[in-house]
Amino acid sequence: MTSTTTSRQVEHLQPSRPSQDGDGVKIQRIHDFGGGLDPFLMLDELGSDRPDDYIGGFPPHPHRGIQTLTYVIHGGLTHEDHLGHSSTIRAGDAQWMHTGRGIIHSEMPLTDSQGLHGFQLWLNLPARDKLSPATYRDVRAAEMPRLAGNGAELIALGGRWQDSGGEHVDGPLNALAGDGAVAHVRLEPGGELTLATAAPTLLAYVFAGSLELGDSRVAHGQLARLGSGDRLALASTEGGEALLLAGHPHGEPIAHYGPFVMNEHAELEQALRDYRDGTLTGE
């Protein structure tokens, strides 16, 4: 008896849009707070060689009900929070924050010879975890395992990634919401990589060059949502890079206001009251 595989195809493309956040930081943003990316909510790309575009950074601000994952390609970011964590990540490093009930933090940018280029991903927490204790972790580039393809490389930030030959790696961030997995893929011109993944949600954000995903070409600045199947074929004629996001939807209502993501509007009102009266973090 032979097993068959089904190639996953692009079923929707969503372009990133220019936006601003923090102290005037210019970003490219993709978001869907209606559940279309569940368990993911938003992906911001920070990228500029002009310090005025980002140097103001993200002064202290609150969060509740989400996880954030920040990944740096060039430059760096310094994180500080009310729990006493202080850490700087640089090219190839990542930081993960489980905001739970509440956290107040800041992120301030650093530059290198190529300026600043990085990403912040928001993952939604399930209702059962939205008021859990806040935690923080950073991981260094050297801690991230890699899968090699034909002129291709996958860097696993979190979750399990497996190629079509059965080789797999587990990224160090192993507590991502929705059994989430995040990876950075690089393909040289003519490169190829085939992954075995049946995760219900599978997304690819191309941030350099272009990639062929299944039978479709995905250009720089586009987020592709893949349909069902158990195999993803990646190739690139010109070379390209992307973030891959895989996970399992929560299938719960989403209520969003600014830095807070809960399940019901009344819970948002409570978060605002808690922030105003100083009890957001439960301390």
Alpha-carbon distance of 171 to 154, in angstroms, equals 11
Instruction: Provide the CATH number for the domain around residue 48.
Output: 2.60.120.10
Alpha-carbon distance of 267 to 240, in angstroms, equals 42
Which run of H or of E encompasses 19?
Answer: strand 17-21
Residues spanned by the domain of 188: 10-247
Indicate whether 259 belongs to any domain: no
- Cβ distance 116 to 75 under 8 Å? yes
Give the total number of structural domains in the chain: 1
Indicate whether 228 belongs to any domain: yes
Looking at residue 115, its pLDDT comes to: 79
Indicate whether 279 belongs to any domain: no
Task: With CA atoms as reference, report the closest residue to 63 among 117, 125, 138.
Answer: 125
- Give residues with Cβ within 8 angstroms of 245, minimum separation 6: 40, 43, 121, 180, 181, 182, 201, 202, 203, 204, 205
- Cβ distance 23 to 56 under 8 Å? yes
% of the chain residues with pLDDT over 70: 94
Give the CA distances from residue 140 to residues 32, 45, 147, in Å, rounded to whole numbers and listed in that order.
Answer: 29, 20, 17
The predicted-structure confidence for 219-275, as pLDDT tens digits, reads as follows: 999 999 999 999 999 999 999 999 999 999 999 999 999 999 999 999 999 999 999
Burial of 145 (0-12, 13-18, 19+ CB in 10 A): middle
Indicate whether 265 belongs to any domain: no
Among 30-39, 75-84, 103-112, 248-257, the range scoring the smallest mean pLDDT is 103-112
Indicate whether 255 belongs to any domain: no
The predicted-structure confidence for 119-138, as pLDDT tens digits, reads as follows: 999 999 999 999 999 999 99
* 15 phi and psi angles, rounded to 5 deg: -80, 150
Query: Residue 150 pLDDT > 80, yes or no?
Result: yes
Indicate whether 267 belongs to any domain: no
When the pLDDT of each residue in the chain is averaged and rounded to a whole number, the result is 93
Indicate whether 260 belongs to any domain: no
Task: Give the pLDDT band of residue 7 (cuts 50, 70, 90).
Answer: very high
Alpha-carbon distance of 9 to 14, in angstroms, equals 15
Location of structure tokens 């939807």? 249
Give the CA distances from residue 73 to residues 13, 90, 127, 184, 200, in Å, rounded to whole numbers and listed in that order.
Answer: 24, 8, 32, 10, 28
Indicate whether 83 belongs to any domain: yes
Burial of 277 (0-12, 13-18, 19+ CB in 10 A): exposed
